Amino acid sequence: MADQEDEEVFEIVDFTSASEWEVFISRLEEILLSWQLSLKDKEEVVTSFVDLNGDWKSSSEDISFAGHPFILTHHWVEQSTVTNEVNKVELVTDKKGCQVFASLMDNRHDFPFNCLPLAKYYGLSDFVVITPAGNEMLTSEDRINLLLSSITIAVGNIQSRAPVFVQIHSKSQQLYQGTFECKNLRTDFQMVHLKRIPPTCKCLSGLIELFKDKIGSTPLEPVDLSICWTYSLSDVRNGGWEKWPQPPPDFESMGGVVGNAALGQLGFGAIRDPIKEIRVSAVWTGLNEDVVVDSEVYSDLDPVQAPLWIARLVLNEQVPSLLIKSLCSFLDLCRSSESIEQLLGKNYTVLQSPDSPEYERALGALTKERKGYGLLSSNRLPFGSKKAQTGGPIPEAMMVNLLNYLFPDAEGDLESQTHPYPEQFQTDCSASIDSTWKEFFSAFKTSPVDSLVWRLATAAVYTMTHLNGIEGVAHLWHEIVLELRFRWEHGYTIPGLETGGVPDLNYCRLYQKLQMLNCCINHKKAGNSAPPVEATDEDEFYDAEETLESMEATPQKERHSVWNQPQGRKERTKMKLLRSGETLYEPVTQALLPMTEDMVEEQSEMMEQLGDNAEGSELRARILSASLLSDMEAFKAANPGAEMEDFVRWHSPRDWIEEEVMTSDGCKMEGRLSGRMQAPGNLWQEMWRAAKPIVAWRQKRLFDDTKEAEKILHTFSALRPAQIATLLLPTVMHASIHRLLEELRPNIQLPDAVSNCRAAIAKIVQIARHSPLDLQQYEDLLPVLQKIEVRLSQFNSLRRRIIDYGDWEGIDEFVTRLLIDGNVSLTGGSHSPAGKALLKAMGSLNKKDTSSGLPSPVKKEFVLRAMAHRPGNGSTCSCQKLFCSVDEDSVRLAGAWTQDTLFY
């Protein structure tokens, strides 16, 4: 380069008349140089073995020849571990150190399964291909030759280390011609693909003859052979899959009356068989022509005795799966816009509390026997409309099934329930799931596993998928709201919810609302019944420790005037009232205000709005003091004659300060209110003065059960199916991942499925906390879930197939490796455990009774290699290779013929 720059600038070099092929060659050289393929002034580092199933890379450039556009692509395998074992491959040629020749002659490169066709035919790991751009095809012999000779020049000029191929004829045919030159040896790559199979190509003996013919001279050593016969275990060709266990669920049986078992579980599994076929190849390498006979009439080759078998898996792409399908339709439901009335007609309009006698009558008869479903049946006797209501979209028998599943207590005792709720809800996960997943589950803001909301979610998915879609969901919800109203009005607790007393804010809002409804029901029940049994003075008789006092019970009672009788005593304490010396009783107090998340948010928002100044503080205190006042009044009622000091000792014991005081009688404990309780103008004192002795059940209700319950039921009945679905969506997602984990048995080591599960769980935990809910985020989860579901279906399907023909300790590992790597080498061939099972499977497919017990192979592949002097005996000895692949309807021959360009 430096020399050129120093040249005389006045000397004109004329390129204007350069021909098209000269331009092409220089452009080709330029690209090959830019890809650093030139070996000029370089020693090539030869890697003896490259895994052709490895990581293929490519880069492309445009190039044109006489106005025809071409694409030049460089393909190569990215080598993870580069080993410089030049000496290991002992080439017979004295031209050592050429990667292409080493690759061609290395039989470890034979029969790769996951690489470009060219790599497979020749065992190459680094090459360049010129392909006509667009739909153009190279068919004319002249043009192919012109292109090839131009390439030969370019490759020779720059001493390319990679062979260059030209793709000819139609692209799908994968036909190439190519050339390579290294140290005065030129290799021509030639290929034919024939529809009619000449008899010589069908067996080894014919091929060897052909090979030797083509070489033209006698090879130095006997021809080296690699052979691979491939058998297929597939449904189509051998009609064999029907013999495998049928993996996909049978939909027909689910259409009609479905067993409740199907109700409780979300669907799982691929709808079509995810496994297309298993291919088994029997492989022989390192044979030579003298030891093996394989002719049309006789063959030494027995695949059962082959030293190596390779099992390969061919999957069906894009297999739809049940869970994802139902989730998709559920998301559609979330996006729907119809109201229940629009879907089901006027008979299903929002129901207010019905007061009609008809309604009562309808229920009266039913409630004698049953706890619930009053309204399901009363649906036949419609209120509000005189006309008998025609059945909803869900057939009655099915609806009873669904309702029995959701409200099993209506069926009667625990024993008679088909689907009783678990005694204790598992917040983490069920026993069927590997315990290592437990930690992930506690963070779900959804609902406990197998709770009412959980069952609602699975029932809604089930209804959406298998029963009348959106109309079905509308119908189901309508019945559920009726059932809930029935339970509220008749004081039956709603089953399937944790009985914590107050809504648990760790769960989703729907769950909280239902818990709230239960609070209302329980509150109403408690309110309607007689006042709770009080801890009366009489109780003291049974109190052993204070017999003395209890003897005085009667006179004690008389100390209170008629209008000042103690009321609402809950429990005695060890304390005595300061003034009267009577026992201090803990009063019965009003139940605490249960609140759902939205109520909490509303309240804290209101609190915040009051501001953070002193006035705000006081207002807040006054608002929140309702319960304090209620407590004070109840306390006064239970303890007539009590002082504020007495109240503080019960309510805020740390504000009662007891100190030892030295008096004339010695040491004595003396108590007083803390400074802050004594402080003048103190709200506590103010309230104490205002408080009247009123027993809890006569007080103004802090919690209005009717208002709350009606509010919830009204909201419920006005929900559109989309809103219902949206409320259930987080739980549906939780149930889905739960379902997938049930399938992921602990001993399955599918790293991708496991990591996808982790990712999905983390995402669900995160988005389930989002409010308002973002549908798109849920939608985005589906591909991950699908991957898991398909992978697990593949595993199940494959395992079921194999296990039918042999069960051994390593079966899970074999299935896993086959799934993940796509292939498994079985050393020992049919004698390995997996080989035995596969042999048995193939034997069962074989209808013709052949000696080997195997069906005929779907493909036979041969690789023939030899070193020979070409073209003449004086030429350098060089490598010759022929690859031949014969399947049922075609044969492909790919030869690499090397010859000396100097010595003929």
Partner 1 sequence: MDPSVLTTLKILITGESGVGKSSLLLRFTDDTFDNEQAATIGVDFKVKLINVDGNNVKLAIWDTAGQERFRTLTPSYYRNAQGAILVYDVCSRQSFSRLDAWFDELETYATNTNIVKMLIGNKIDKDRREVSREEGLKFAKKHSMLFIEASAKTKDGVQMAFEELVQKIIQTPGLWEADVTSQRGLSLSDRTQAGQPWSCSGYCSMV
**Contact footprint for partner 1 (CB under 8 A):** 443, 502, 505-506, 589, 592-593, 595, 597, 600, 603-604, 607-608, 610, 612, 616-617, 620-621, 623-625, 627-628, 631, 651-652, 654-655, 674-679, 682-684, 769
Q: How far is the CB of 27 from partner 1 (least distance, A)?
A: 47
Strand runs labelled E in 210-323 = 224-234, 275-288, 308-315
- Residue whose CB is less far from partner 1, 636 or 865: 636
- Residue whose CB is less far from partner 1, 320 or 675: 675
- Residue whose CB is less far from partner 1, 124 or 520: 520
Nearest to 514 by CA among 480, 472, 537, 474: 480
User: Using CA atoms, how far apart are residues 313 and 511, in angstroms rounded to an integer?
Assistant: 46
Phi then psi dihedrals of residue 203, to 5 deg: -135, 165
Contact 125, 52 (CB under 8 A): yes
Contact 191, 121 (CB under 8 A): yes
Q: How far is the CB of 579 from partner 1 (least distance, A)?
A: 23
Alpha helix locations (H) across 575-682?
597-609, 614-638, 644-651, 675-678
Nearest to 45 by CA among 96, 110, 107: 96
> What residues contact residue 11 under an 8 Å CB cut-off, 6+ apart?
none
For the chain, state the CA radius of gyration.
43
- Residue whose CB is less far from partner 1, 476 or 519: 519
Nearest to 225 by CA among 303, 177, 294: 294
User: Using CA atoms, how far apart are residues 307 and 826, in angstroms rounded to an integer?
Assistant: 9
Q: How far is the CB of 611 from partner 1 (least distance, A)?
A: 8
Structure tokens that stand for 357 in this block: 């006698």
- Residue whose CB is less far from partner 1, 341 or 655: 655
- Residue whose CB is less far from partner 1, 620 or 672: 620
Q: How far is the CB of 625 from partner 1 (least distance, A)?
A: 5
Burial of 882 (0-12, 13-18, 19+ CB in 10 A): buried
Contact 734, 442 (CB under 8 A): no
User: Using CA atoms, how far apart are residues 600 and 598, in angstroms rounded to an integer?
Assistant: 5
Q: How far is the CB of 765 from partner 1 (least distance, A)?
A: 9
Q: How far is the CB of 658 from partner 1 (least distance, A)?
A: 12
Nearest to 280 by CA among 790, 818, 820, 882: 818
Q: How far is the CB of 651 from partner 1 (least distance, A)?
A: 6
> What residues contact residue 760 under an 8 Å CB cut-off, 6+ apart?
737, 781, 784, 785, 788
Nearest to 728 by CA among 268, 331, 324, 398: 331
- Residue whose CB is less far from partner 1, 589 or 880: 589
Question: Per DSSP, what are the bridge partners of residue 211?
Answer: none
- Residue whose CB is less far from partner 1, 67 or 681: 681
Contact 876, 904 (CB under 8 A): no
Q: How far is the CB of 605 from partner 1 (least distance, A)?
A: 11
User: Using CA atoms, how far apart are residues 788 and 786, in angstroms rounded to an integer?
Assistant: 5
Contact 645, 673 (CB under 8 A): yes
User: Using CA atoms, how far apart are residues 780 and 777, in angstroms rounded to an integer?
Assistant: 5
- Residue whose CB is less far from partner 1, 607 or 718: 607
Q: What is the dihedral of CA 750, 752, 756, 758, to 10 degrees?
A: 60
Q: How far is the CB of 650 from partner 1 (least distance, A)?
A: 9
Q: How far is the CB of 647 from partner 1 (least distance, A)?
A: 11
- Residue whose CB is less far from partner 1, 381 or 679: 679
- Residue whose CB is less far from partner 1, 111 or 635: 635
| Residue in the block written with tokens 């309510």 | 651
- Residue whose CB is less far from partner 1, 516 or 677: 677
- Residue whose CB is less far from partner 1, 381 or 623: 623
- Residue whose CB is less far from partner 1, 243 or 622: 622
Q: How far is the CB of 29 from partner 1 (least distance, A)?
A: 49
- Residue whose CB is less far from partner 1, 625 or 823: 625
Q: What is the DSSP pairing of strand 656-663 with strand 583-587?
A: unpaired
Chain-centroid distance of CA 53 in Å reads 28
User: Using CA atoms, how far apart are residues 82 and 71, in angstroms rounded to an integer?
Assistant: 29
User: Using CA atoms, how far apart are residues 832 and 826, in angstroms rounded to an integer?
Assistant: 6
Taking residue 633's Cβ as centre, other Cβ atoms within 10 Å add up to: 25
Q: How far is the CB of 592 from partner 1 (least distance, A)?
A: 4
Contact 456, 446 (CB under 8 A): no
* CA dihedral (218, 222, 224, 230) positive or negative: positive
Q: How far is the CB of 677 from partner 1 (least distance, A)?
A: 7
Q: How far is the CB of 610 from partner 1 (least distance, A)?
A: 8
Q: How far is the CB of 528 from partner 1 (least distance, A)?
A: 23
Q: How far is the CB of 731 from partner 1 (least distance, A)?
A: 18
At 544 the three-state DSSP class reads helix
Q: CA of 329: how far to CAs of 257, 736, 883, in Å? A: 21, 14, 51
Burial of 417 (0-12, 13-18, 19+ CB in 10 A): middle
User: Using CA atoms, how far apart are residues 226 and 112, in angstroms rounded to an integer?
Assistant: 12
Chain-centroid distance of CA 482 in Å reads 36
- Residue whose CB is less far from partner 1, 267 or 587: 587
- Residue whose CB is less far from partner 1, 102 or 595: 595
Taking residue 630's Cβ as centre, other Cβ atoms within 10 Å add up to: 20
Q: How far is the CB of 641 from partner 1 (least distance, A)?
A: 22
- Residue whose CB is less far from partner 1, 196 or 689: 689
Contact 184, 834 (CB under 8 A): no
Q: How far is the CB of 681 from partner 1 (least distance, A)?
A: 9
